[in-house]
Amino acid sequence: MDLWSILTWVVVIILLSVTYWYMTIPNNLPPGTAGLPIVGYLPFFNLQPNITMDKLAKKFGNIYYVYMGSQLSLVLNDFESIKQAFLTQGDTFAGRCHLTEFENTNGEISGVVMTDGEFWKQHRRFIIRNLRDNGVGKLTIEPLILNEIQYFLNELKKLDGKGSFDLKTYLATSMTNNINILVNGRRYNYDHPIVADTLKSLKDFEEVVQVLPYETFFPWLKPLLLKLNSKRLARLANFRAMADKRMASVIEETASNFVAGQTDNYVQAFLTEKNNRSKNNPNETIFTDNGLIAIALDLVNAGTDTSASTLVWTAMYMAKYPEIQRKVQDEIDSVIGQREPSYNDRSNTPYVEAIINEIHRIVSLVPVAVPHRVIKDTTFYGYNIPKNTMVIPNLKAVHYDPKLWGDPENFRPERFIGSNGECLKPEYLLPFSIGKRACAGEPLARVELYLYFVSLMQNFTFLPPEGKELSFESPPGFLIQPKTKLISIKTR
């Protein structure tokens, strides 16, 4: 074949694939873009996808489609469309996509965060019931968290006058203990290998996880990249292997002291449920040993960095706005004084609540939540949305919508204070998302944020790191985490 024939064939193949690409776009989608054949719009996405999503919303409106590789995706960029999808059409929009970043070492997706269908439904219900039974959302969890806070405060007190330090490590250590208390009924000393190992693996994950990695949309890439020694994928695989091993040993320890019928912590309750089900059905597939490892890990992974980073941001904003810090300390001094705080105090401390709300809004810690999936063909605002469309809610766009907030760029807790001095709870503040897939740990996170923030403000004043400017930059990732976590404290 001569050169001209080869070139002609190449042009024909390109034209055919472009035609095929555009012909396979379903009819009656909302406005949007298919991007380029095969790769879709993926190459044009910023590593912080919400930035690109905002730009596309300016062109296509608040509901639009975009292709990630050949994966059709629906982006929801305002409160009304997210509410319609996740509340009004909640069941249809409650699926999850297969994200390779969350595969276990066998290439499977398990646990509760990334699964859907009957397995997810039963486990989500079980987790929420178990957290409630163990006192989350009620006051019975409070003494356990307050006890953990004492250990945490004692560590921080040693740092006064010693220059700036990484607050996140201390907070993550303490938060992971709160989850340990719920999952396996015990806290660990801060130098215990389980704690060090958990923090190391979470740090590894934070450094390498991507929201829209190419391997998710081109699964054949993953084995290829692993063969080519991709450091990122190797670290991800290592994170998962270490985490599975650690959790298996924690569960084994808890199970070795387990007496049939116990339900004092999550592992015990799970084993009791599993035994009861196995008696009735020897082929039980929902409550399994591997399921327990994956779900317990999900709780540790979802419940550690989220609450810890929210509190690091809070400390940084307090250091940046000393007059706001002074005002909240005054409120705490006059309402609670030096006694231990209680979650019941919150109705008398509206400014504490307003600051926590404003941190949720301005930080938007999980900017695009976790992608959802449409589980059956549906219509949405008159458009046809096919089964298996990925759905990405841009929660950060809601938190920065000037129509809802007026001056979203400003840190202004007062926006949450009502005319009678009470703390407002607008329905469009969505840090935990909404609907069937909303954060299962929200009640725990709310108690933690309140008790830790009040305890910190009773004991310390936050200051910028010595000799340095506070930086509010954050590296790309699932969570918006501060790039530089250094901060100074002064004991009050």
User: Between residues 412 and 437, which has the closer beta carbon with respect to ligand HEM?
Assistant: 437
Stretch that binds ligand HEM, among 53-61, 208-216, 303-311, 453-461 (CB under 6 A): 303-311
Strand 32-33 to strand 71-76: parallel, antiparallel, or no bridges (unpaired)?
A: unpaired
Answer for which of 370, 392, 398, 447 binds ligand HEM (CB under 6 A) is 370
Cβ 148 to ligand HEM, closest distance in Å? 13
Stretch that binds ligand HEM, among 31-39, 41-49, 243-251, 365-373 (CB under 6 A): 365-373
Cβ 213 to ligand HEM, closest distance in Å? 18
- Extended strands (E) in 7-157: 32-33, 63-68, 71-76, 95-96
Answer for which of 134, 164, 201, 307 binds ligand HEM (CB under 6 A) is 307
Grouping H, G, I as helix, E, B as strand and the rest as coil, residue 163 is coil
CB contact at 8 A, 321 and 411: yes
Cβ-in-10-Å burial (0-12, 13-18, 19+) of 285 comes to exposed
Grouping H, G, I as helix, E, B as strand and the rest as coil, residue 175 is helix
Q: Which two tokens stand for residue 300?
A: 């540790």
User: Between residues 225 and 430, which has the closer beta carbon with respect to ligand HEM?
Assistant: 430
Rounded CA separation 460/306 (Å): 22
439 is in an annotated binding site: yes
Distances (CA, A) of 456 to 137, 165, 181, 314, 418: 21, 15, 21, 10, 25
Residues 386-445 that bind ligand HEM (CB under 6 A): 431-433, 437-441, 444-445
User: Between residues 236 and 447, which has the closer beta carbon with respect to ligand HEM?
Assistant: 447
CB contact at 8 A, 418 and 107: no
Rounded CA separation 113/359 (Å): 24
Site string for ligand HEM, 100-139 (x = CB under 6 A): ------------xx----------x---------------
Per CB under 6 A, 302 contacts ligand HEM: yes
Answer for which of 30, 213, 303, 465 binds ligand HEM (CB under 6 A) is 303
CB contact at 8 A, 94 and 437: yes
Answer for which of 366, 385, 392, 480 binds ligand HEM (CB under 6 A) is 366
Helix axes 350-363, 289-320, angle to 10 degrees: 110
Q: Residues touching ligand HEM: how many (CB under 6 A)? A: 24
Cβ 490 to ligand HEM, closest distance in Å? 26
List residues forming the annotated binding site for heme. Answer: 439
Binding residues for ligand HEM, rule: CB under 6 A, are 112-113, 124, 298-299, 302-303, 306-307, 310, 365-366, 369-370, 431-433, 437-441, 444-445
